[in-house]
Amino acid sequence: MSEMFRATTILGVRSGDRFAIGGDGQVTVGDAVMKNSAVKVRKLEESGILCGFAGSAADAFALFDRFEKRLAEFSGRLPRAAVELAKDWRTDRVLRRLEAMLALMDKEHSLVVSGNGDVLEPDDGICSIGSGGNYARSAARAFLAAGWTDPSEIVRESLSIAADVCIYTNHNIEVLEA
């Protein structure tokens, strides 16, 4: 795993017709914490899509800009826009150097998009990226199995557990819900 991806944890959870995405605020460069309060999740207001990123912030914002253009081009269809973004990311000389991953959610889909050309839709509707992603994903699965139904609460508590375990994740958690 690149140093770039050891800087965050992003988790998206779907429960019923609701979904939420959240991320911690820690930015790490090498073995030093550089910032505790970064915001790595956002809502695309026009489409209702929730997004989160892990990796380089500048790279992620460049990808968000490209993604929003693709989203407009394909009338807000998340899967199609994500696939086209992944194709661009993989084949464009400039884009393929970007080091980030994206988690994208709308009312029907939960996607993870990488620079390797991957567009993954997890079977369970839980998308996680970043260094603490697997810890947060495991906690979210346990909460869902225990009958929890509030996606925001599941995201917040799961990220908190990840922060207790992953040294690259902190307790400064931002959660968005749609």
Counting the structural domains of the chain, the total is 1
Give the residue with greater pLDDT, 20 vs 87.
20
Q: Which residues of 73-85 are buried (b: 16+ CB within 10 A; e: fewer)?
A: eeeebbeebbbbb
The percentage of the chain sitting over the pLDDT mark of 70, rounded to a whole number, equals 96
Q: Which of 19-23, 111-115, 167-171 has the lowest mean pLDDT?
A: 111-115
Q: What is the CATH number of the domain that holds 165?
A: 3.60.20.10
Q: What is the mean pLDDT of residues 79-88?
A: 93
Locate 119 and state its tokens: 């567009």
Q: Report the first-to-last Cα separation within the chain, whole angstroms.
A: 31
pTM of the predicted model as reported, rounded to 2 decimal places: 0.92
Q: Indicate if the pLDDT at residue 5 is higher than 80.
A: no
**6 confidence band (pLDDT: 50, 70, 90):** low
The whole domain housing 141 covers: 3-177
Q: Indicate if the pLDDT at residue 31 is higher than 90.
A: no
**7 confidence band (pLDDT: 50, 70, 90):** low
Residue numbers annotated as active site: 8
